[in-house]
Homo-oligomer: A and B are copies of this chain.
Amino acid sequence: MSAPFADRLHGAVEATGTPIVVGLDPHLTLLPEEYAVARDGGAPRAERAAAMESFLLEVVDLCAGAVPAVKPQAAFFEVLGADGVAAFERVVAAAKAAGLIVIGDVKRGDIGSTAAAYAEACLSGAERGHMCDAATVNPYLGSDSITPFIDACRAADAGIYVLVRTSNPGGADLQALELADGGHVAEHIARAVAGWGADLVGESGWSSVGAVVGATHPAELGALRELMPRTPLLLPGYGAQGGTAAGLAAAFTDGPHGALVNSSRGILFAHAKGPSGGHWKDASARAVTAMREDLAPLFRS
């Protein structure tokens, strides 16, 4: 790879004119009819994984050129064990070959030498073809659990997105706790994220150390952005989880850069919600266009 993650992402957003990241969350039970074998628990696992992979390769095909990035969610692949993981690798490789930025949504986090193994597995391994451009990581284990991922960012021009304030209701249980020194846990982590990323700011002005902040928390977004002014955000929870475009304004004070807005089910399974008839891929393509139009007012000057 040829440039820091942050700068490559900046270029991809520039080229496509939108900050959409399509979440590749292949819930097996929701796949279109032509991939029905994937949801048949009685079918051989390898066949199920192959059907899931075929579906996702079609999704990658419709994303290429239309959006800057995709975000495969490891859990839905791991449900199919080693066969699912093999599919994950091939989907990542296909997305990269199609010019998409790939953010592996793996939410890994562990102590030093183990975190280094995860970083090698996701980001900096020698077999480059299926390495992700960036990965999501969990900060519960502290600085020395993040350092190996940052080392991988340097070594492989990769990026990370640290969980700061997640989109789910239960995210508040820990992340919204008030600290004795003032502020909340999420704000404390946000400050740490800004520090971890300070040395990894690229020519674009953005760091390769990003943060996950739920699109479901518009009231907190501004304060978190202030604590992380050079941190690219990853905003899940738009659409299905209730996040709206209007609520994301604080993330886009600087044009379409600075944040990616994720949609998973709203795009992958658009056919299940819209009027029946027509091919699923057309419904998904229309959902991408609708999302692009919905977000555009946020950063039209």
**Interface on A for B, CB 8 Å cutoff?**
25, 27, 41, 45, 73, 75-76, 78-79, 81-83, 85-86, 88-89, 107-115, 117-118, 120-122, 125-127, 130, 138-146, 163, 166-175, 177-181, 185, 188-189, 192
- CA distance in complex: A138, B107 (Å): 10
- CA distance in complex: A76, B174 (Å): 29
- CA distance in complex: A170, B181 (Å): 19
Contact indicator B185/A177 (Cβ below 8 Å): yes
Q: Which residues of B contact A117 (CB under 8 A)?
A: 27, 73, 75-76, 78-79
Q: Which residues of B contact A114 (CB under 8 A)?
A: 25, 73, 75-76
Copies in the complex: 2
Contact indicator B121/A143 (Cβ below 8 Å): no
Q: Which residues of B contact A27 (CB under 8 A)?
A: 113, 117
Complex: chain B residue closest to A164, CB-CB? B140
> What 16 additional pairs, Cβ within 8 angstroms, besides A81-B85, A140-B163?
A25-B114, A75-B108, A76-B117, A78-B117, A78-B121, A81-B121, A81-B127, A82-B83, A111-B166, A138-B140, A141-B163, A142-B168, A142-B169, A142-B172, A178-B180, A178-B181
A73 → B minimal CB distance (Å): 6
Known: A82-B89, A167-B111. A173 touches B142 (CB 8 A): yes
Contact indicator A144/B120 (Cβ below 8 Å): no
Contact indicator B127/A75 (Cβ below 8 Å): no
Complex: chain B residue closest to A110, CB-CB? B107
Q: Which residues of B contact A73 (CB under 8 A)?
A: 110, 114, 117
- CA distance in complex: A146, B170 (Å): 9
Q: Which residues of B contact A174 (CB under 8 A)?
A: 139-142, 185, 188-189
- CA distance in complex: A83, B185 (Å): 38
A213 → B minimal CB distance (Å): 13
Contact indicator B75/A81 (Cβ below 8 Å): no
Complex: chain B residue closest to A82, CB-CB? B86
Contact indicator B121/A168 (Cβ below 8 Å): no
Q: Which residues of B contact A109 (CB under 8 A)?
A: 107, 109, 138, 140
- CA distance in complex: A176, B140 (Å): 11
Q: Can you list 15 A-B contacts with CB-CB less than 8 angstroms, sorted by A residue number?
A: A75-B117, A78-B117, A78-B121, A79-B121, A79-B125, A107-B109, A109-B109, A109-B138, A111-B170, A141-B170, A142-B169, A142-B172, A177-B180, A177-B185, A179-B180
- CA distance in complex: A89, B78 (Å): 11
